[in-house]
Structure 1
Amino acid sequence: MDKERQKQAPIYTALERFRRQRVVPFDVPGHKRGRGNPELVQLLGEKCVGIDVNSMKPLDNLCHPVSVIRDAEELAADAFGAAHAFLMVGGTTSSVQSMVLSTCKPGDKIILPRNVHKSAINALVLCGATPVYIDPKVDKRLGIPLGMEVEDVRAAMEANPDAVAVFINNPTYYGICSDLKSLVKLAHEHNMLALVDEAHGTHLYFGPGLPCPAMRAGADMAAVSMHKSGGSLTQSSILLLGPNIDEGYVSSVINLTQTTSASYLLMSSLDISRRNLALRGAESFSRVVDMAEYARREINEIGGYYAYGSELINGGSIYDFDVTKLAVYTRGIGLTGIEVYDLLRDEYDIQVEFGDLSNMLAYISIGDRIQDIERLVGALADIKRLYSKPETNIFTSEYITPVVAATPQRAFYAEKEYLPIEDTAGRICSEFVMCYPPGIPILAPGEVITKEILDYIRFAKEKGCSMQGPASSDISHLYVLKE
């Protein structure tokens, strides 16, 4: 990485130059630097609405960058150690889908863990590829899916030698990392591409002593959520390419779905955040690691909770652990993660990332302070004292092995019927059901609905998980394939 060159921020510089010119706008957006919408100015500020502009020659165009956006993408590629980088304004959902859509054609097979984000399965609906799912190992106590075992992936490749790619989550929401280098090497030995959903791994490229990131492992593509741990605005992302990928073709695929009116607020935030990480990332994420480890120690001293970390590493299904992730098992105090999540927000004005049926996750990143950590620890101690119950073991896992009866695309577009959810056992689902976050489907199109899955959905609803996916807003009905 060229540290001197990384001091540049070409999109930001171009916007500052443009702002000083006081150009009279006879183009979109129609709020005309905020003059037509004073309430928007009051909410966002004059500077923000003043650079909410449309593509024009001095500011380049994301659909076909030739100047400042191209320069920003080259700087991003240099910072992340990639052959090319695309700035993405449709979130990492669009980055994940672009990886899959540029790799798979209708009928192609792709090997992937079933605990993928819904964006990956949505991509299969769009392109018509056939998933070859690998069931992740599960930590029964913590109720979380683990990483991809090398031997499981090898077996799937040998059983499906015609698969075109393997898709890898790394790290997971919970901080679990697979043996990325070995998985990439295995994919290439079988003439398959290695695609990495690195939504939760921006910091791996910059923080000292953290698990290996995708580009360093030799992956062909990686989707990076800069807005999660990288400091950019929500919905901004970067798609990284390795040296053997045709960037022109990937660009064509991105432009099938990406907006032609890309937000300069999002793009400039990517530009500035990349510069910040390149220049100060090592120092910043060293502090993040220290804060997360401190929080882990303090929470574990409370008793009842278990803030897990690198002690889980087993060299296989947990090959490494991202210690910046502060995931806390809560069932030891008799509460689900979503119950602790709700109490923290409603009673203590603390918003954590998510709660599931066994865990809660506090996202620690470059904007956090040690006094905020102290407040979280104090609130958790208070919750244990005031709200704890006898420990129960109703469900032992956040992951239920699916029975796949049809491809996602065929099930999504098939003739279907709308049934009360309690009448759907044994039928093939035509839509998604998930808790969001984390957005990992409990049911996906093409999967058989079982009593175990229905019991899980019912329990998750009762405990207050935010359920989404089906057309039915209250999850009372499901679309299933017509018999």
Structure 2
Amino acid sequence: MKYISQENAPILEALEKMKSARLVPFDVPGHKRGRGNKELTDFLGERCLSVDVNSMKMLDNLCHPVSVIRDAEELAAEAFGAKHAFFMVGGTTSAVQAMVMTACKRGDKIIMPRNVHRSAINALILCGAVPVYVNPRMDPVLGISLGMSVADVEQAIRENSDAKAILVNNPTYYGICSNIKRIAELAHEHGMLLLADEAHGSHLYFSDKLPVAAMHAGADMAAISMHKSGGSLTQSSLLLVGDRVSHGYVHQIINLTQTTSASYLLLVSLDISRRNMALHGEKLVDRIIAQVQYARDEINAIGDYYAYSKELVNGDSIYDFDITKLAVYTRSIGLAGIEVYDLLRDEYDIQTEFGDIANLLAYVSVGDREKDIERLVSALAEIRRNYRQTGREMLKAEYISPKVVCGPQESFYGDKESLPIGDSVGRVCSEFVMCYPPGIPILAPGEMVTEEILRYIRYAKKKGCQMTGPEDMNLQRLNVLKL
């Protein structure tokens, strides 16, 4: 057996070997190494199209890996401290859904924070599991949802001892971490699995200066967005599995929904990015930490803005903070985060990750440069100087606790009717309404529509938030369960 180490990239090596073989393609894809679509080849490049290939013996098959993909997944598992790793080409959405569908069947309960990504609730619609929401604590000034309090998790367990799993965000979009190690211990003490949505935490595995990574804290499964902070191509992710879960069963679940025609561009990007982080991750993360700290100090020196960090830590609902997250509170200059987001893009050609009604998030990762950080800081200073407003009435940013009437699957597939959104108060919503990004639902299927929620939706739309989810994309009407 050939010895492989973290210095290897098995899928990359196999693709290079395939190219040297000069195969004549009588298989798919139909562009035939780019020759059949000149415009696409001119745009993406011949080197890219030449490895946009189908599964074949020398390249293995993601649905049933026995050679190079298997080797690449074993190296990923080793790098991230997992028993097994799966390469996912449907984004972390598919990894989150595979976790939930592995842990839960129809009617099973799963404990989760309400500020989960829509992918987790989508998984409940698919498998029929029922959420037990732990409403997150809220920072009254910043208007952001925090982590799950251990006491709140303990209460949820006492009241739902038959739950199959607990899902934790590690970290949240804003960098907030719960006490995942203690929550994992509680889950295991009560025969439950601990699942982690680590879409924003792939870098946690490569630095001891950051909050603990899920698999290091005892999680049973973790969904990792390598494309967010690990440097791989968009839509490429990892699903990590511990030794309390059958990886064979997980693979069966993945194959229910994942494509049988996996892109080798995505697969090789995972392989190369894993090698890069395994060999150089600590150094890369140190640079990110330094860049963000510099930006945070400079932004706070501008005045009015508040770029927050570990000073928020309270040992419970904010057990730890990911200091690579550059989140900035903007309401103190009289502008919503989404308004600053729009100004940066439209006036300064700077694309940040997202803005909500109180905060802006600039995502700093392995590819950022010091001069870009300087440009962001300078633009924020100019926005404060040129656009600052005082005495402006702004909606208080706060978490709205949902009134859950029934499970997501029951509501989504139930008999429904479309109403003008203003007439939907008091009815049970049967679809999603959310700002994207970050993709955390304001309303989810099975939840009561309230006047408070509609006021928040109107305000978010007015400020420029992109509202997604409902069948009526203009959000003039809303689907609700028939009475």
TM-score above 0.5, yes or no: yes
Name the aligned partner's letter for residue 189 of structure 1: E
TM superposition score normalised by structure 1: 0.99
Deviation of 1:208 (Å): 3.5
Deviation of 1:400 (Å): 1.0
3-state SS of 2:215 partner:
coil
2:225 is equivalent to residue 243 of structure 1: no
- Look up the match of 2:384: 384
Name the aligned partner's letter for residue 74 of structure 1: E
- Look up the match of 1:10: 10
- Look up the match of 1:74: 74
Deviation of 1:473 (Å): 1.2
Deviation of 1:245 (Å): 0.8
- Look up the match of 2:169: 169
Inter-partner Cα distance in structure 2 for 1:398 and 1:12: 47
Q: In the TM superposition, what are the counterparts of 1:248-263 in structure 2 within 5 Å? A: 248-263=248-263
Q: Which moved more, 1:388-397 or 1:271-280?
A: 388-397
Deviation of 1:391 (Å): 5.3
Instruction: Structure 1 unaligned segments of length 5 or more: list them.
Output: none
- Look up the match of 2:60: 60
Inter-partner Cα distance in structure 1 for 2:51 and 2:380: 42
2:477 is equivalent to residue 481 of structure 1: no
- Look up the match of 1:115: 115
- Look up the match of 2:452: 452
- Cα RMSD between the aligned structures? 1.0
- Look up the match of 2:153: 153
The aligned length equals: 481
Inter-partner Cα distance in structure 2 for 1:334 and 1:4: 56
3-state SS of 1:216 partner:
helix
Deviations 1:167-192 (A, max 9, x none): 10110000001111101001001110
- Look up the match of 1:19: 19
Deviation of 1:242 (Å): 0.6
Name the aligned partner's letter for residue 45 of structure 1: G
Inter-partner Cα distance in structure 2 for 1:392 and 1:306: 18
Name the aligned partner's letter for residue 281 of structure 1: G
Inter-partner Cα distance in structure 1 for 2:144 and 2:245: 34
3-state SS of 2:103 partner:
coil
2:438 is equivalent to residue 438 of structure 1: yes
- Look up the match of 2:278: 278
Deviations 1:102-137 (A, max 9, x none): 110111000000000000000000000111001000
Inter-partner Cα distance in structure 2 for 1:33 and 1:392: 57
Inter-partner Cα distance in structure 2 for 1:331 and 1:169: 26
Q: In the TM superposition, what are the counterparts of 1:191-340 in structure 2 within 5 Å? A: 191-340=191-340
**Between the two proteins, what is the percent identity of the paired residues?**
67
Instruction: Structure 2 unaligned segments of length 5 or more: list them.
Output: none
2:185 is equivalent to residue 185 of structure 1: yes
Deviation of 1:390 (Å): 1.1
TM superposition score normalised by structure 2: 0.99
- Look up the match of 1:133: 133
Q: Would the aligned equivalents of 1:138 and 1:145 in 2 still touch at CA under 8 Å?
A: yes
Inter-partner Cα distance in structure 2 for 1:443 and 1:109: 20
Deviations 1:388-447 (A, max 9, x none): 101546333352110000100000001000111111111100000000000000000000
2:54 is equivalent to residue 47 of structure 1: no
2:360 is equivalent to residue 360 of structure 1: yes
Deviations 1:197-243 (A, max 9, x none): 00000000012311000010010000000000000000000000011
Name the aligned partner's letter for residue 304 of structure 1: D
3-state SS of 2:64 partner:
coil
Inter-partner Cα distance in structure 1 for 2:319 and 2:397: 20
Q: Would the aligned equivalents of 1:399 and 1:442 in 2 still touch at CA under 8 Å?
A: no
- Look up the match of 2:402: 402
- Look up the match of 1:465: 465
Name the aligned partner's letter for residue 350 of structure 2: I
